[in-house]
Chain A
Amino acid sequence: MNSFLEVIITSFQKNLIAGDAYLIVLKGLRVTILISALGLLFGTILGGILCCFRMSKITGLKRISQLMIAVLRGSPVLLLLMILYYVAFAESRIDPVIIAVIAFALNSGAHIAEVMRSALEAVDKRQLEAARMLGFSKTKAFFAITLPQAGKIAKPVYQSTIINIIQWTSVVGYITITDLTRTVNNIGARTGDPFFPLFFGILLYLGLSYLVYALFSIGKKRGEAI
């Protein structure tokens, strides 16, 4: 029992303390968070735009967004990432992190567009009519009724979209980015003791997911569920 503890402690020191390895891990974590957060931000904006197009009455816009959503949702994010890196931006000397952000924005944008659309369509049209009967204009009714209700419907799915993005960013090592996954992998390779750093990496990803979960639970009150 004692020796097991000792093994852990030595392993911990060797992998995370020696040579200030934990600082490198933090750096990797920062990159992961940066790509996830920016990918999500632009993905949400793109999702909003795609959703608007998708639900618009103009057939051209509708078709274009339908196509984009279908293609982006249907293609693996890693391939998208590689196409952008090795083909689209092969000549330019653009920072790979930016390319990763673009890839994740595109991929999550398509998902988020569909999340938004199904949430908007799930809003009770009869409540909307009740609002119109009280004198709400279409715009006001959208902001007072549709948006808050759709927001509540979309929330859990949006939350899992975020967690998905965070986990999928672990593939950015393929385009030379040193993110959290790559960092812990490197450390393991260097010390020849991969188990501990990889396990620690998982803990950090878990921590991030939990953080997202905690952020979403803030302000959860009685009237939450529709």
Chain B
Amino acid sequence: MIKVSDLSKQFGELRVLKNINVQINKGECIAVIGPSGTGKSVFLRTIAMLEKPDRGTICINGTDITKKEINLNQIREKMGMVYQGFHLFSHLNVLENITLAPIWVKKQDRNVAKQKARELLSTVGLIDKAKSYPRELSGGQQQRIAIARCLAMEPEIMLFDEPTSALDPTMTCEVLGIIRKLTKMGLTMLIVTHEMNFAKDVADRVFYMDEGGIYEDGTPADIFDNPKKEKTKAFIRKLKIFNYEIQSTGFDMVSMNAQIEIFCQKYNVRAKQVYHIQLLLEELMMEIFKQCYEGAQPDMAFAIEYSDENNEISIYLTYRADDFNPFEYGGNDIDNLGMVLVSKISKKHEHLFENGRNKINIKL
């Protein structure tokens, strides 16, 4: 059990952690989320005493580890830390990376340590990489080795600081799969992550960090679906919004579509719907370019918002131009096929004109 009382830490004038009080029970899995620079890493590092707190206590199983006479090496034997950048020992191969601490620190017999390392390598699915060097491995593989290296010390607590932030989506999956396995092993875990779906799934509790502390603390359902406090609400809402700005007719539409796809994947939006979003935006933009920005550079922005409750997608498009509503096209349908399509796809649409800006709100 970890009990943090009245914990404060500042760097110079910057007060990063202010009077944190929190208790983490044995075997609990905590996801730590929050905007950048709110002290998530510092919080984790302080629990490991890599940063010395200015005030307050950290008790692990009843022992206050902030005391001077504590042997931190012994405490850290029972504590694993996994970093965003892996930090494997570059001069050693995979097997040696895993056995180094058991042999040097735990004085384990070489062969016993190797045997154990092989078992761990099978657990993380990398038994055939035992003799490889870190730089020969992909990021995902390196991170799995880093996890195995921690597990070799049989820790009771695991601290993860954005373990997948340096990885691409497939590698992220590999690593999250391993961490998921660990939750079933009764380890106490703190995971700083931007993978909200993962946090939702595996965490028993979520800490939202902001304003120098744990701003809101609750079950994943509390935090993600029903946040109580202002900043948490804003943070969670923002997660579900995709923003994009267009300032040139030659903007990169391929990249825009790719980003929309990635955003939608996070919320398991169906492929057909993704296609509809892309098609709708393209047609609308073409129409507006043609009518409002003939020979001029556009000033346009849109946001896509995903709502959990009814699986609804909203699109908010704004553009600075004279009052122009693309849905009110004259002439016949054949000449305006694009806009006909847009109207068909959208469930609801409206056009507003305020202060020189057109606004189109669409629900899908």
A residues near B, CB below 8 A? 124, 126-127, 129-137, 140, 144-145, 148-149, 152, 222-223, 226
Contact = CB atoms under 8 A, between A and B. Distances in A.
B150 interface: yes
B83 A130 contact: yes
23 contacts: A124-B87, A126-B85, A130-B83, A130-B88, A130-B146, A131-B101, A133-B48, A133-B79, A133-B81, A134-B76, A134-B101, A134-B150, A135-B74, A135-B77, A135-B106, A135-B153, A136-B101, A137-B73, A152-B91, A222-B133, A223-B91, A223-B93, A226-B90
B90 A133 contact: no
Contacts of A152: 91
Contacts of B74: 135
Given A124-B87, A149-B91, 11 more contacts: A126-B85, A127-B87, A132-B76, A133-B81, A134-B77, A134-B100, A134-B149, A134-B153, A135-B105, A136-B101, A222-B133
The 9 closest A-B pairs by CB, nearest first: A135-B77, A134-B101, A130-B87, A135-B105, A133-B81, A126-B87, A223-B133, A135-B76, A135-B73
Interface of B: 48, 50, 73-74, 76-77, 79-81, 83, 85, 87-93, 100-101, 104-106, 133, 146, 149-150, 153
A76 to B, nearest CB: 37
Contacts of B101: 131, 134-136
A161 B68 CA distance: 45
Contacts of A126: 83, 85, 87
A145 B100 CA distance: 10
Contacts of B105: 134-136, 140
Contacts, number: 68
A133 B73 CA distance: 8
Given A126-B83, A140-B105, A144-B104, A133 B76 contact: yes
A131 B76 CA distance: 10
Contacts of A222: 133
A80 B89 CA distance: 42
* Of B76, B79, B90, B146, most A-chain CB atoms within 10 Å: B90
A140 B81 contact: no
A129 to B, nearest CB: 7
Contacts of A131: 89, 100-101
Contacts of B48: 133
A145 B91 CA distance: 8
Nearest to B86: A130
Given A135-B77, A144-B100, A223 B92 contact: yes
A135 B108 CA distance: 14
Nearest to B102: A134
A124 B90 contact: yes
Nearest to B93: A223
User: Most chain-A Cβ atoms within 10 A of its Cβ — which of B79, B101, B146?
Assistant: B101
Contacts of A132: 50, 73, 76
A149 B100 CA distance: 14
Nearest to A151: B91
Contacts of B80: 133-134
Nearest to A222: B133
Nearest to A152: B91
B92 A130 contact: no
Contact of A130 (B79, B81, B106): B81
B77 to A, nearest CB: 4
Given A136-B104, A223-B133, A130 B73 contact: no
A49 to B, nearest CB: 25
A28 to B, nearest CB: 41
A149 B87 contact: no
A144 B105 CA distance: 11
Nearest to A147: B91
A133 B76 CA distance: 5
Nearest to B74: A135
A142 to B, nearest CB: 11
B89 A130 contact: yes
Query: Among the interface residues A126, A127, A137, which one has the most CB atoms of the partner chain B within 10 A?
Result: A127
A146 to B, nearest CB: 10
Contacts of A135: 73-74, 76-77, 101, 105-106, 153
A133 B105 CA distance: 11
Contacts of A140: 104-105
Q: Which of A126, A131, A134, A148 has the most CB of B within 10 A?
A: A134
Contacts of A144: 100, 104
Contacts of B83: 126, 130
B245 to A, nearest CB: 36
A134 B104 CA distance: 10
Contacts of A124: 87, 90
Contacts of B88: 127, 130
